[in-house]
């Protein structure tokens, strides 16, 4: 009974709303922004030392052109780097850092599809998902430490119970939040690309391409930090009417990006 009550307290602490994301979602994010930015900049600096930076001028111009249109919607000074890597990946880090892999540049058909990815990654930074993720993990570890000290499992069965509790926390708390982050970034990214004048309809085309490229290798949704491709496409389509309205407004205002690969 005591264990159950303690778990309830720990879970309640994890659910306390300390901040609000750009979409209005309550979130717990108690790490200092300056510290998160410093970690992001340090990690990005290490990546530039350990990963090959692309020298392909055409790719760099293409990526920077798209990123600059997206960045204008959020403001601030950002660093954008194209990495020589065949994987279909891009990322953004606290401290306003954007990295794009050449494999992704190769895969996309047009500026709109890459804008969907860059907008999505910038969305993670805008919503402080790294802060939220670290805050969740910190709170969870503290809670598990308290529970372990109180219960003090010494037997093999007791230790197995603590292990199972850890697995339950992983799939019941951390991964679902991560899927929420991905879905939220999709919505933010859709909004950003539309406001910048990129066609939001190409976001669903992109994820259809991603689905084909994965060749069915994506893990089951409940064990994944990313929504299933079909789920992602459905959620994008549900937000498409608003995005199309913003896209048409951007076009009418003269926002017509012309970034060519």
Tell me the pLDDT tens digit for each residue of 75-102: 999 999 999 999 999 999 899 999 999 9
CA distance 194 to 239: 11
Distances in Å between the Cα of 20 and the Cα atoms of 27, 30, 32, 242 are 6, 12, 15, 21
**Token reading at 115:** 């804008």
The percent of residues in the chain predicted with pLDDT above 90, rounded, is 47
CA distance 15 to 30: 12
Q: How confident is the model at residue 182 (pLDDT cuts 50, 70, 90)?
A: confident
Comparing 205 with 172, the larger pLDDT belongs to 205
In-domain check, residue 233: yes
Distances in Å between the Cα of 74 and the Cα atoms of 22, 65, 78, 84 are 12, 15, 10, 27
In-domain check, residue 93: yes
CA distance 122 to 118: 6
| Structural domain boundaries, residue 39 | 32-132+163-252
In-domain check, residue 259: no
Tell me the pLDDT tens digit for each residue of 22-61: 776 766 766 777 878 888 898 899 999 999 999 999 999 9
In-domain check, residue 258: no
In-domain check, residue 147: no
SS3 226: coil
Residue 210 has a pLDDT of: 84
In-domain check, residue 191: yes
- In which element (H, E) is residue 173 found? none
In-domain check, residue 193: yes
Instruction: Centre a 10 Å sphere on the Cβ of residue 23 and count the other Cβ atoms it contains.
Output: 15
For the packed helices 33-50 and 129-151, what is the interaxial angle rounded to 10 degrees? 110
Residue 58 has a pLDDT of: 97
What is the number of domains present in the chain?
A: 1
Q: Which of 205, 228, 48 is nearest to 115 (CA)?
A: 205
Determine if the pTM surpasses 0.85. Answer: no
What's the mean per-residue pLDDT of the chain?
78
In-domain check, residue 137: no
Q: How confident is the model at residue 149 (pLDDT cuts 50, 70, 90)?
A: very low
Catalytic residue numbers, as ranges: 121
**Token reading at 52:** 């090959």
């Amino acid at each position: 009974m005591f264990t159950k009550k303690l778990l309830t307290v720990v879970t309640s602490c994890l659910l306390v709303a300390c901040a609000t994301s750009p979409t209005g979602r309550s979130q717990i994010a108690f790490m200092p922004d300056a510290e998160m930015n410093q970690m992001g900049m340090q990690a990005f600096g290490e990546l530039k030392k350990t990963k090959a930076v692309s020298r392909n001028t055409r790719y760099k111009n293409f990526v920077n052109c798209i990123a600059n249109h997206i960045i204008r919607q959020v403001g601030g000074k950002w660093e954008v780097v194209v990495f020589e890597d065949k994987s279909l990946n891009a990322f953004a880090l606290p401290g306003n850092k954007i990295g794009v892999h050449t494999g992704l540049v190769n895969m996309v058909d047009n500026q709109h599809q890459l804008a969907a990815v860059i907008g999505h990654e910038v969305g993670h930074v805008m919503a402080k998902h790294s802060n939220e993720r670290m805050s969740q993990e910190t709170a969870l570890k503290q809670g598990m430490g308290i529970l372990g000290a109180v219960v003090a499992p010494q037997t093999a069965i007791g230790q197995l119970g603590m292990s199972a509790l850890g697995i339950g926390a992983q799939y019941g708390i951390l991964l679902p939040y991560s899927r929420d982050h991905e879905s939220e970034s999709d919505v933010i990214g859709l909004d950003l690309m539309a406001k910048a004048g990129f066609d939001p309809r190409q976001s669903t085309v992109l994820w259809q391409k991603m689905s084909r490229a994965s060749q069915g290798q994506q893990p089951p949704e409940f064990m994944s930090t990313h929504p299933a491709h079909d789920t992602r496409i459905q959620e994008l389509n549900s937000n498409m009417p608003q995005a199309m309205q913003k896209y048409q407004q951007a076009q009418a205002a003269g926002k017509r990006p012309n970034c060519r690969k």
